[in-house]
């Protein structure tokens, strides 16, 4: 067992991260008290900590931020990505290097610590996040428990057992835990400085059904900005029920957990949509499950991709984009059958980041092109989806860039 603590701290630790291999990391607690168990990953984004922590794709995970200063701009009620905040979909824990300072930003509505408490997120600060990141890079994503006790009293043996006993993300269908409970219509459009978020108006140009496996708000905003009526449906909605809504296109959202587990009910639905020959666009978990529906396989990654600075090449344009990533599973390119084309690839490790179905209006990407947080290099993918629909309707194409 290895124990590490911040060298400048002489106070009794009020938070611990206990890894399944017995490593114990001591620090200062903030956010919710108690403990949470999950898979520890590291995120390399410099900004957007609220969007990261509220991304439903992080359900069951503890996020270590490699950027040292987290919380400086405070927290607000706008920069959240989960569709149902009351359900607290997103990361279960967070780890920071530096202490969280008082907020300094005109949009701040409060301190990050208070916001973490309201969200029920257990956090630890004052730790060597660089050392933890190196450990995760060398040994892979680790199961762990994160605990916060203001009095500094911990049941160490119980925490070790929790970390060892957790089953990992493999085989877990977490989409059912974060999805919508019923269908709804989304009308909000992207944030514009200094007006805030807008609302769709006028007669919709198309109808898009978004299947919610843990969808992010900004994805829905960008779909709405296309002039679309956006209907959000629960993860277990059948193909028959979706087609009965007479959509012009179907979007398969991001989400958490093992795609093969969620695919038990999602894959038959997606195959039903493929048989109906309707335009389909998938992101993240939606990308992985589309690949499964087309006959491919998915694999658990060593450490996953988590950050807002990942280079991806789009073979359809020949351009390299910097994108936002958040996934611990990937599509095995060698498993893709004939007729399924690889369209995007990670320039970090060469893993698959996009596919399309030859001769059909169907494509998906592994990264998060909605840019919350992250760059907007891949916003064009939403217009690419709209153009597949517009082509079917006999309407002129939108400029992708």
In sequence order, the 6+-apart residues with CB closer than 8 A to the CB of 172 are 60, 257, 258, 261
CB 104 within 8 A of CB 72: yes
**φ/ψ of residue 17, rounded to 5:** -115, 120
Question: With the C-alpha atoms ordered 115, 119, 122, 127, is the resulting torsion angle positive or negative?
Answer: negative
Beta-carbon contacts of residue 101 (< 8 Å; ≥ 6 apart): 69, 71, 72
Rounded to whole angstroms, how far apart are CA atoms 299 and 108? 40
Q: Has 391 been annotated as catalytic?
A: no
Let me know if 353 is a catalytic residue. no
Encode burial over 228-266: b for 16+ CB neighbours within 10 A, e otherwise.
bbbbbbbbebebeebbeeebbbbbbbbbbbbbbbbbebb
The structure tokens 């629960």 sit at 234
Report the C-alpha gap between 217 and 188 in whole angstroms.
9
Instruction: Give the active site residue among 284, 344, 353, 367.
Output: 284
Options 148, 305, 327, 368, the catalytic residue: 368
Nearest Cα to Cα of residue 115 among 75, 88, 155: 75
Q: Which residues contact 197 (CB under 8 A, 6 or more apart)?
A: 78, 188, 189, 190, 191, 221
Buried b (16+ CB within 10 A) or exposed e, 335-359: bbeeebeebbbbeeeebbbbbbbee
Is 284 part of the annotated catalytic residue set?
yes
Residue 383 · residue 399 · CB < 8 Å = yes
Q: Of 65, 56, 57, 49, nearest to 366 (Cα)?
A: 57
Tokens standing for residue 254: 């991001």
Q: Give CA–CA dist 188/147, Å, rounded.
A: 37
Q: Name every residue whose Cβ is closer than 8 Å to that of residue 69 and which is 6 or more positions away in sequence.
A: 97, 98, 101
Write out the two tokens for 368: 């998060």
Asked if omega into 194 is within 30° of 0 (cis), the reply is yes
The residues annotated as belonging to the active site are: 284, 368, 370
């Amino acid at each position: 067992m290895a124990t590490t603590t911040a060298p400048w701290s002489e106070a009794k630790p009020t938070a611990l991260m206990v890894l399944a291999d017995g490593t114990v990391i001591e620090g200062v607690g903030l956010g919710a008290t108690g403990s949470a168990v999950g898979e520890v990953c590291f995120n390399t984004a410099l900004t957007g900590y609220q969007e990261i922590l509220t991304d439903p794709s992080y359900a069951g995970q503890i996020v270590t931020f490699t950027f040292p200063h987290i919380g400086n701009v405070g927290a607000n009620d706008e920069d959240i990505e989960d569709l149902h905040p009351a359900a607290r979909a997103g990361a279960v824990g967070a780890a920071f290097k530096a202490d969280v300072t008082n907020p300094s930003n005109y949009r701040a509505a409060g301190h990050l610590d208070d916001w973490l408490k309201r969200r029920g997120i257990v956090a630890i600060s004052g730790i060597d996040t660089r050392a933890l990141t190196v450990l995760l890079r060398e040994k892979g994503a680790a199961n762990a428990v994160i605990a916060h006790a203001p009095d500094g009293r911990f049941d160490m043996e119980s925490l070790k057992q929790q970390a060892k006993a957790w089953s990992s993300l493999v085989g877990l269908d977490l989409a059912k835990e974060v999805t919508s409970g019923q269908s709804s219509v989304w009308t909000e459009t992207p944030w514009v400085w200094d007006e805030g978020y807008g609302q769709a108006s006028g007669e919709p140009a198309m109808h898009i059904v978004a299947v919610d496996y843990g969808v992010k708000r900004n994805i829905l905003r960008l779909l709405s900005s296309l002039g679309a009526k956006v209907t959000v449906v629960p993860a277990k909605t059948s193909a028959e029920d979706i087609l009965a809504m007479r959509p012009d296109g179907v979007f398969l959202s991001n989400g958490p957990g093992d795609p093969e587990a969620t695919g038990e009910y999602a894959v038959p639905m997606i195959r039903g949509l493929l048989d109906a020959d309707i335009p389909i666009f998938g992101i993240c978990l939606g990308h992985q499950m589309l690949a499964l529906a087309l006959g491919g396989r998915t694999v658990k990654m060593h450490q996953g991709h988590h950050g807002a600075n990942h280079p991806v090449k789009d073979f359809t344009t020949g351009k390299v984009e910097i994108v936002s990533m958040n996934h611990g599973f990937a599509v095995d390119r060698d498993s893709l059958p004939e007729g399924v084309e690889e369209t995007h690839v990670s320039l970090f490790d060469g893993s698959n980041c996009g596919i399309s179905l030859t001769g059909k209006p169907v494509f998906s990407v592994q990264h998060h092109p909605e840019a919350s947080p992250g760059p907007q290099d891949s916003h064009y993918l939403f217009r690419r989806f709209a153009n597949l629909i517009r082509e079917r309707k006999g309407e002129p194409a939108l400029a992708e860039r």
